[in-house]
Every structure is written in C-alpha cells, then in structure tokens.
Structure 1
Amino acid sequence: NPRAQFTILYSHGNSEDLGDSEEALETLRKMGLAVFAYDYEGYGTSQGTPSEHHAYRDIDAAYDHLTGTLGVPPGRIIAYGFSMGGGPAVDLASRKPLAGLIIESAFASAFRVSLPARILPFDRFHNLEKIAGVSCPVLILHGTADSVVPVQHAELLFHAAHEPKRLILFDGLDHFGIKWDRKKRYAQALEEFLAVLNQSRQ
C-alpha cells in the first residue's frame, strides 16, 4: 500500500506460518497499513532449522529488505510480534530505529512458559530484559485468560518498557482470541496507537 503512513513488519507465532497468518494480515491491511510478513527458518516453505538465533537473523533480513530494497524509512516501520513473534520483534526494536513496537500475547521469557517442541529447549527469548532498551512507543495486547502465556507476562513487559507505552488487556480472552473476538476493541487500540505514533513524528 504506497499510500500507507506505516508499514507493519509482522512476526507470527510458533504454531503457525504465513499461510495461517493471512487473515490477521488482511485485518491490518484493511486498517490502511502496509504489511510485510515473513516465515522463520524451518517454518512454512522456508528452509533451515528453527532457533532463537535464526529468528533474530530472519527479522534482520526482513528489516534490511524493507529499508534497503524497498526504501521504507525506519521511522515508518512498526514491528508487530504475535506470541513467539514477540521475541524477534522486541529484539529488533532494541537494536534498530522503528516507529513503534506492538506485541500481542507475548512472553517475558520463553523459560517462563510451556512451548511446543518446535522451539528448542535452549531458546530463551529474553524479551523482558530487551524491552527495557526499546526507545520507540510500545503497545502491548494480551488476554486476561491466556492459558499459553499468562497475563502476568504482559504486565512484566509493560513495567519494564519506557514511555510512551500502553497495555491493553482483553477481559476473558485466551491466547488467540484478541483479533477475532474483540475486533472493534482491537481496531480501536491500534488506531489509538497509530495516533500516538503520528504525534511523535511531529
């Protein structure tokens, strides 16, 4: 979308790939956002072996493609991480210039939750430590009844992040319900965050 003010760099969760994320990506497009998504190594049609290190390398490659090949200014890129995707999104935001960071149903550390075996046991994703180094605005979305990543993870991440930041809790929702069961509130949360980003650019 060449008219979009912001481009979403989307990092999907552990139990999905790009094909599974299509509906979520379309929701973001309908909000007038440009969207760039990618698969981690070993996911979907991507070759290689999944690992924390490879996830960081993959988002770096996506960011470099956006800023280099496609010429998108860093100040118009929003890193968006869902669940495990919060790991590479937070890591990128702690190292690279961005317009903003959105994390949905993300964990403070992979050691604190039970994840499927696809993520190797030594993968840590120290999001809690890294988010303290993020200088762009942060939006955290989480369901209060998340059975995969308890809501306390969102609260820890929120307290560690710097202002401007916002935590939106979705009462009674589980890990995957935010985009689908609270569509109006979800859209409102993103629109309010985009307004904050526009203000910070002025």
Structure 2
Amino acid sequence: MCCICPPAIQAIFCLWVQSGFSQGTVAGALTFFPPDPPLYRFERLDKDGNPLPEEDDGDNDENQNPENSSLANRNDNAEGVEVVTDGAYQAREGQTKKKVRSPAQQFTDQAKALRKRGKLRNARDTHDASNGVTYKLVLDPRLSPPRIDNGGTVEAIKIPTGKGISFSEQGKANSTGNENETTAKSSTTSRSKSSSDNKETHQNRSHCAAIVYRVPSSKAHTNSEGRKTMTIIYSHGNATDIGAMYPLQVILSNSLECNVVSYDYSGYGASGGVAMEANTYTDIAAVYEWTLHNVCGGDESRIILYGQSVGSGPCCHLARHVDGLAGMVLHSPFMSGMRVLTPSRALACLDIYPNIDRVAKTKCPVMVIHGRLDEEVDVGHGIAMHAAVPDHLKRDPWWVPDRGHNDITEGPGKLAEYVGRLREFLASLD
C-alpha cells in the first residue's frame, strides 16, 4: 500500500485483505462498539444450582487490553510516536516495541482477538446448553434498578442462533429475591431427528445472551384493561448492552403491563460470535422464534419490535419478512449506516442496514421516536423513515423537541411522557 496513505486507511485496507475481502467485517469493525467491560455478567450454575468456575474466553488476552485496543483509537504516549517513511510506527527513546503498534496492526489484531473470543464462547455455550447449565444475572453494581415488586419474573437465558431452528423452553426462572440476580434455565433447541440435524447438534453454535421480563401470571394473557398482553422484543443501541438497559426494561414491563425480551447482539456482553451486520439478522430471528414459542404461545400478533438507533437495522429487516406482527417502534432510527456519516453514496459499498428501503416494505404498524436535538443521528433520518412507512401503517410519531439521541427518557416528566406515548401506540393496535 502507498506509504502516504493515512494510518486509518491502511488499517481498514489491511483488515479488508485479512478478512478475505469481506465488506461485512470492515463495516462491522467501523460500526459496532460493545461496552468494555459489559455492565452485567451471567454467572453459570450447574444442574444442582452450584456456581461453575469462570472460564477464560479471551478477555484477558493482550489484544483485549484497552491500552492495546484499536477501539480505544490511541497509543499510550502518543506524543512519543512518529510515522516513518515506510508507514510503520517507530518508538522514540524510553518507549518499548511491545507498546507501539501501527493502527493497521492494532485494527487487525483486535479483529483476530474478537474472533477468537467469539469461537471460545460458542464452544462453551454449546457445551452448557447440552449439560443443563443455568444462568444468574448479576448487574454492574453501579446500576440502580427500580424497586418494583409486581409479581413478575426475570429470566437470564442464552438463545442459540442460526437458521431453521425451533425452540422449546427447558425451564423457567426462579427468583432469588435479589433484584440484581435472577436464575433461569438455559434455552435449548428442539430439532428433528434427520441426519443433518444430528450432525448440527455437535457443532458449536453462537448464543445470544437475553433477559426476559415476564408479567405476573394473572396478566399473562390480558392486561388490567382487558387488552391482549403484548411482548416487546427490544434491540438496543450501539454502545450499550442488556445490563445497562435493565432499569428501563423493568419500567417498560411494569408500566405497559407487557413482557419484554432484551438481547445482546453477537459480540456484545455475554453473547458469543462476532459483531457483524449479518449476525444481527440471525440474532433477532432466533430471539423472535424463541419468544414466539416460549412467551407468546405461537401468536405473532402479540409481538412488538422495538429498535433503538442501530437496533432499527435488525428490526426493519425482520419486519419486512414476518407477517402478523403487532407493530414496531423505531427509536432514533437511521436511513442507513453510511448515511449517518455522509449523504454521499461514494462509500455505498460499505453501507449497512438499508432501513429506508426496508421500512417501506414493512407489514406492521410503525411508530417513530426521534429527538430534534439529536447530534448523532440527525432527526431528518427519523422524519424520512416515518415518511417511508406505508400510509395505512403509519402511527403518530413523536418528535421530542428538547432531547437528543440517548436522553429522551431523562428529565422531569420525560419518562412519564415516553411511557404515555407508548401506551397510545399500543392502544392504536387494537
């Protein structure tokens, strides 16, 4: 590569070559930024409920150290690093070669480390699923979940991803009495007895970490107003995870009297695999199938998709393929990934999530929420997405006048207004 190319361009080019010219790998590396460390963990329990030892999944590798991470977008002692004519980085006096790596090397090393971690987690999760391992949700102590005791339950599960899978629930969660800890049976797949399926059983499969918030059994079928009890499948934004979203999900489940299934994308939190656009599609498909059969009794009209920011991508993808969904909420959505960076189509080859095209083909009612002060995804994206929804499926949007990308529920009265708007949307689905 030309020695005068900027280091960032070199890094992208090297990753593109080493990934076998995979546009998805490059786009994923530029798009997904999971919290590190996650704001929760799943404690593994054996069949008797005893804690299992934590296994190394690569998080302690040198390449995963924030000081060496390409996601940190820096080198230590940056002022002591200079670029020489061959495009490599050279240490000045007092620095070590171990610390100083070119952006291209950091980028590719990080990608390799994440792939290694994903494979290790896939192997562990597949083994756990076949051995009846259960999970206990442990939240980051910095989080302050609301104290709500309405008789509902919370489950921590791992959902296997992939195509052609039907799911059956192995067991239900047992409350531990601690708001930060809940126990649940791990989910397993039920497969046909064909030779191909039997072979697939022995292959390592990626699993999504998910938290399931269930309403009390007295409201499992209808809520206090006599309406059908709904279930929200929540696809969160980019730099967050299901631990950080826990407080809001508890509020939604309690205030809307609905079940909520919140999941982490591949490569996020306790999920296996690697964060890539294509993987988010198989993730949401697996979560949808599991939810349909284990929460909604096979009734897709009880399911509402909710996509926040990057979560609008998998939601729009699924909504155009599935008939009979109750509805979809798009919270701070974008027209497509690359359009967030530039309106130019010069980099269309790296574009992901063509939401503007897919939402026009959706088959369920859609509500759009967007802050007018959003500096990450301009409100124009939300307005365009609302306009693209077929007229008979449009529902009243909410253009929040004094809020940005991640603060729509913050401030006096905003959370109450947010819940009220969602109640109106649910009522419009009758």
- Quick check: 1:101 aligned with 2:328? yes
Deviations 1:63-90 (A, max 9, x none): 0101134424100000000110011111
Aligned to 2:378: 150
Change (3 A) 1:183 1:36: same
| Equivalent pair of 1:51/1:123 in contact (CA under 8 Å) | no
- AA at the equivalent of 2:355: N
- Considering Cα pairs closer than 8 Å and 6+ residues apart, tell me whether 1 or 2 has the greater RCO: 1
**What is the rounded CA distance, in whole Å, between the counterparts of 1:69 and 1:143 in structure 2?**
35
- Give 2:293's match in structure 1, choosing from 61, 68, 73: 68
Q: Would you say 1:19 and 2:249 are equivalent positions?
A: no
Alpha-carbon separation, structure 2, partners of 1:156 and 1:169: 12
Q: Indicate which of 182, 189, 192 corresponds to 2:424.
A: 192
Check conservation: 1:147, 1:175, Cα contact below 8 A: yes
Q: CA deviation at 1:184?
A: 2.2
Are positions 1:37 and 2:258 aligned together? Answer: no
8 A contact 2:235–2:307 mirrored in 1: yes
Post-superposition shift, 1:180?
Answer: 2.2
Runs of at least 5 residues in structure 2 that lack an aligned partner in the other structure: 1-214, 224-228, 342-348
Structure 1 unaligned blocks of 5 or more: 115-120
Could you tell me which residue of structure 1 aligns to residue 338 of structure 2?
Answer: 111
- Does structure 1 conserve the Cα–Cα contact (< 8 Å) formed by 2:322 and 2:363? no
C-alpha contact 1:100 1:137 (8 A) present in aligned 2: yes
Is 1:128–2:356 an aligned residue pair? yes
Structure-2 separation of matches of 1:36 and 1:187 = 17
Deviation at 1:123, TM superposition (A): 5.1
The residue type equivalent to 2:332 in the other structure is S
SS at match of 1:139: strand
TM-score by length of 1: 0.90
Partner of 1:83: 309
1:94-135: CA deviation from partner (whole Å, max 9, x where unpaired): 111310000101111111114xxxxxx935101100000112
Equivalent in the alignment of 1:117: none
CA contact (8 A) 1:24 1:179 kept: no
Aligned mates of 2:328, 2:321 — CA distance in 1: 12
Do 2:372 and 2:403's aligned partners in 1 also have CA atoms closer than 8 Å?
Answer: yes
CA distance in 1, matches of 2:404, 2:421: 18
- 1:32-76 superposed Cα distances (whole Å, 9 cap, x missing partner): 111011110000011111011000100000001011344241000
1:57 is matched with which residue: 272, 278, 282?
A: 282
Equivalent residue runs for 1:156-195 within 5 Å: 156-162=384-390, 163-165=392-394, 166-181=396-411, 182-195=414-427
Q: SS of the counterpart of 1:15? A: coil
Verify the 8 A CA contact 1:17 1:39 in the aligned structure 2: yes
Q: CA offsets, 1:141-190, max 9 Å, x none? A: 00000011000000100110012322110002010111223112211210
Pair 1:92-2:318 in alignment = yes
Aligned-residue identity in percent: 35
Q: Which residue of 365, 368, 373 maps to 1:137?
A: 365
> SS at 2:288's partner residue?
helix
Q: 141-150 or 158-167: which moved more?
A: 158-167
User: Match for 1:161: what amino acid?
Assistant: V
1:118 match? none
Greater per-residue helix proportion: 1
Count of residue correspondences: 193
Instruction: Check conservation: 1:52, 1:123, Cα contact below 8 A.
Output: no
Say if 1:60 and 1:92, in contact at 8 Å, map to a contact too. Answer: yes
AA at the equivalent of 1:176: N
- Judging changes above 3 Å, is the alpha-carbon distance between structure 1 residues 69 and 33 closer, same or farther for their aligned structure 2 residues? closer
